Structure formats: structure tokens, C-alpha cells
Amino acid sequence: MKKKKKNNLLTVIAVLLIVAGSSILIYDFVTKKIRDANVEQHKISFLEDIANPSEKDKDIEPDVYGLLEIDSLDISLPVSADGNFEDLYNTLVAYSEAPKPPKEGNFAIAGHNGACGLMCKFKDLHEIDPSEKEHIRFMDRDNTYVYEIYYKEIVDKSDIWVLDPKEGETTLTLITCRYPSWTHPDRLVVQAKLVEVIPN
């Protein structure tokens, strides 16, 4: 009798574990799909704004300032310029203090690294090889800015010098955590210099 009760208890525990595990997987899957849909909607809205400029007050900063593209990593993601890093699951986020192109200075953009759908595409930044002089495109409502990658490094999370401007240059800095971020608190940094401006 005791053996039967023990087997029943183990069966109940096993079923509960399976249900809990399945629920977590389903929640994770649905959450990623919702985030990915939000990312796509941000991109579509931004591209529609470019195609059909609105009569909005130009002093009002829109939710999405631009679009960042890196062909080799299959990255095409919206960028918010308000510096609100709580929005990293919906857009990449530009540091609000960073000068926006084509102004001289260092335009810095942060992105997630991990397993969170489209918004974690920065997890592949480590694959970039600066010696290949690959290009990054950043598109705002007026122009497409083409940057050539020249630097990649892992730095301590306290190394804010990566945000500093380089005198006389217009640069772009991409920043993400090392993956997995809970075991690697460092930051992966990719820097590129502006080489071309193409009117949209």
C-alpha cells in the first residue's frame, strides 16, 4: 500500500513538473512572438513615415528615430533615440546624449544579447571581423548613413570611454552584453566610422 502511494505521489509530481515546464516554454514562445511582432510594427511604422512624411511637429521626438542594418548578421532593427533602456525589448536604444548623425561625434546604440527573439540579434555581434571592413547602415527620416567597422573589443561594463567622441570624426558605437550576461558582466563593443551619407 505504501509503495502504491509513493508511486502515485511520484506520478503527480512528474505530471506537475511536465505541466510547469510546458507552461514556461509556451509563455516564452508567446512572449517572443509578441516582441517580434512589436519590432516589425515599429519598423513598418518608421518606413511608412519616411514614405509619407507626416505634418507632425518636428520638435516632437518620434518613438522610432531610425533603422539599423547589418547585412551579414541579418539585422534590421528599429532604434529609439530617447535613451529609455527599459524599451530594449521593443527597439534598440540610442544614448540620448549621443550626437545623432550627421553631427560630428559618437552615436552610440545599445541592444540586447540573449534569447529574446528579434531584439536579441546583438548576440551575433561577436561574429563581426573588423578586418573585413564591413558596413553598417543607419537610416533616419532624411538619410542613410553608411559606417565602416574598424574596431571590436570586449570591455569592462564600467568602461564608459567607449562613448567618448573621436575628435574630427563621426562614429557609431554598438554596445551589448556578453552572452550569457549573468556570467559575463562585460560589454562587447563594435565601432565604425561614417563613410557615406545617402539621401533617402
Domain boundaries, the chain: 50-199
Contact between residue 50 and residue 64 where contact means Cβ atoms under 8 Å apart: no
Q: Which residues of the chain have pLDDT under 70?
A: 1-7, 20, 25, 27-36, 38-39, 42-62, 115-119, 179-183
Gap between the terminal Cα atoms of the chain: 78
- Domain 50-199: give its CATH superfamily: Sortase (2.40.260.10)
Contact between residue 198 and residue 186 where contact means Cβ atoms under 8 Å apart: no
Residue 61: predicted pLDDT: 43
Residue 112: predicted pLDDT: 84
Write the DSSP symbol of residue 178: P
Main-chain dihedrals φ then ψ at residue 36, nearest 5 degrees = -60, -40
Q: Map residue 82 onto helix, strand or coil.
A: coil
Residue 116: predicted pLDDT: 65
pTM of the model: 0.73
